[in-house]
Amino acid sequence: MVLTSTTIESTVGDVLKAVGAWRTGHFLLTSGLHSDQYMQCQRVMQYPQFGDLLADLLVEKLAEINVKPEVVVGPALGAVHWEVFVASALERKALLENSRSSLAGLLQRPEDTYKAVEQAIRPESINSMVKAVFAERAGGSDEFSIRRGIELDPGTKVLVVEDVTTTGGSAKKVVELISSLGAKPIAVAAIVDRSGGKAQFDVPFVSLLKLNLATFQPEECPLCKSGSSAEKPGSSKK
Ligand SMILES: [Zn+2]
């Protein structure tokens, strides 16, 4: 069965709400604006099964537009874990399609372990694996870099992932970083695009859920006017 965009959107929305990643209430955002909704996608990453599900859905959407990355790069800290889920989902799809051998499930088949690992650690196998990398802002810099001994080979096809795209600023910087390193950004993908269509990139942009969340200047906030006070998410216990 092929999932339609509408089915995907409602499925993703249900998951995000169920784990408290998408909340309704009265919030003070980092920008200083107020909103009746708040998105904290890291909450969904606590649950690898949901991370896998969202990544599988994203990979199907990428396949529709023939995006086949060799490396997935996400800006820290927002995309940390997410880039691993997406790379892992790309591997799963490739394994299914090419019936390549997999290291998954070997503990259930100990007799296959040695052979499978021996195959997997060959340079040609390692080179064909989809990699997951995070870009970080280091040393108080506003610019992203890729560190920790990780290098991108020239021409490598890179997918940039974000959890939530608000302005697209971070993703844009990572796209520029990848180009400057001689690799090839081929697409940007997010779980939620809340930019209201404002986030634009020089490469295709795919998201699982498009939202146009209303924000208000504090003095114009209808929720404040009705007497409630805004909660700063992450600053209290819940
Ligand atoms: Zn308010």
| Residue-range domains of the chain with CATH | 55-211 (3.40.50.2020)
**Which residue reads 């930019």 in tokens?**
195
pLDDT tens, position by position, 65-103: 999 999 999 998 888 999 999 999 999 898 888 766 677
Ligand 1 geometric centre to CA of 214 (Å):
11
Ligand 1 geometric centre to CA of 29 (Å):
10
pLDDT tens, position by position, 177-226: 999 999 999 999 999 999 888 899 999 999 999 998 888 999 999 999 99
Ligand 1 geometric centre to CA of 28 (Å):
7
**Which residue reads 């090839």 in tokens?**
184
Ligand 1 geometric centre to CA of 227 (Å):
9
Helices 5-18 and 48-64 pack at an angle, to 10 degrees, of 160
Ligand 1 geometric centre to CA of 121 (Å):
55
Ligand 1 geometric centre to CA of 226 (Å):
9
CB burial of residue 30 (10 Å; 0-12, 13-18, 19+) = exposed
Q: Are 83 and 133 in contact (CB under 8 A)?
A: yes
pLDDT tens, position by position, 125-182: 898 899 999 999 988 888 999 999 999 999 999 999 999 998 888 999 999 999 999 9
Ligand 1 geometric centre to CA of 38 (Å):
13
